[in-house]
Amino acid sequence: MRDVFDPTRSDFELFDLEPAFELDIDELQSRYRELQSRYHPDRHAAGEAREQREALQAATRINEAYCTLRDPRLRARYLLVLANVALDEERDTLNDPEFLMTQLELREALDEAQHAEDALTRLDELHDRLRGQRGELIERFARHYAEEALEAAKADVLQMSFFDRLLTQIEERLSALEDALD
């Protein structure tokens, strides 16, 4: 009897984990490797076309679930989806004037840093500062989620999304500056 993969299971169920924000990442990685070993398409290359297709679909589903669970923001977002909290990062806006002001200030800081004479240093410093603030948001989400304060947790995820986008922009600018120096 062959192993049947059920793609309809939740990301947590695929890895035999309890739905929770706090995860043992080493355990997640270990289970990921086990699943990839079992369902990797190369292991089914000699099988029938249907078996090859199912192995590819299983590997794809496992990879997607792993990426979601390994990333704190994606895991947080997924937990909210499982809790039936409507979340649309494109349409949802924060009715938080303080955070909107923070966004403006951070965008100004990015603009100033990238145009500064010591742009690499300033961008590195801003990057470190934002990573720290993102870490605080992750901790805040964990508290809100544990307290079942799901609307507050949703606001945390939306803020994390902003920080992730800004961090990506800084990393791209740092890379471009470093390439220009080479």
For the chain, domain boundaries: 11-70, 97-181
Distance CA 139, CA 153 (A): 10
pLDDT of residue 97: 84
HSE, side-chain direction, 13 A CA sphere, residue 93: 5
pLDDT of residue 37: 87
Cα pseudo-dihedral 34, 39, 44, 48, rounded to 10: 150
Q: Return the amino acid letter for 60.
A: T
CA distances from 86 to 10, 69, 74 (A): 17, 19, 14
Does CATH number 3.30.420.40 belong to domain 11-70? no
Contacts of 110 (CB under 8 A, 6+ apart): 123, 126, 166, 169, 170, 173
Contact of 10 with 25, CB cutoff 8 Å: no
| Residue 71 per-residue DSSP state | S
Domain 97-181, CATH: 1.20.1280.20
Q: pLDDT tens-digit profile of 53-104?
A: 888 888 899 999 999 999 999 999 999 999 999 887 777 766 678 888 999 9
> Does the pLDDT of residue 44 top 60, yes or no?
yes
Distance CA 176, CA 173 (A): 5
Query: Residue 25 corresponds to which tokens in the numbers above?
Result: 């990442």
Query: Residue 79 corresponds to which tokens in the numbers above?
Result: 């937990």
pLDDT of residue 77: 95
Q: Return the amino acid letter for 120.
A: L
Q: pLDDT tens-digit profile of 96-129?
A: 788 889 999 999 999 999 999 999 999 999 999 9
pLDDT of residue 50: 77
Distance CA 135, CA 139 (A): 6
Query: Residue 77 corresponds to which tokens in the numbers above?
Result: 């977002």
pLDDT of residue 71: 97
| Residue 19 per-residue DSSP state | S
Distance CA 75, CA 10 (A): 12
Distance CA 164, CA 130 (A): 9
Mean pLDDT of 152-164: 94
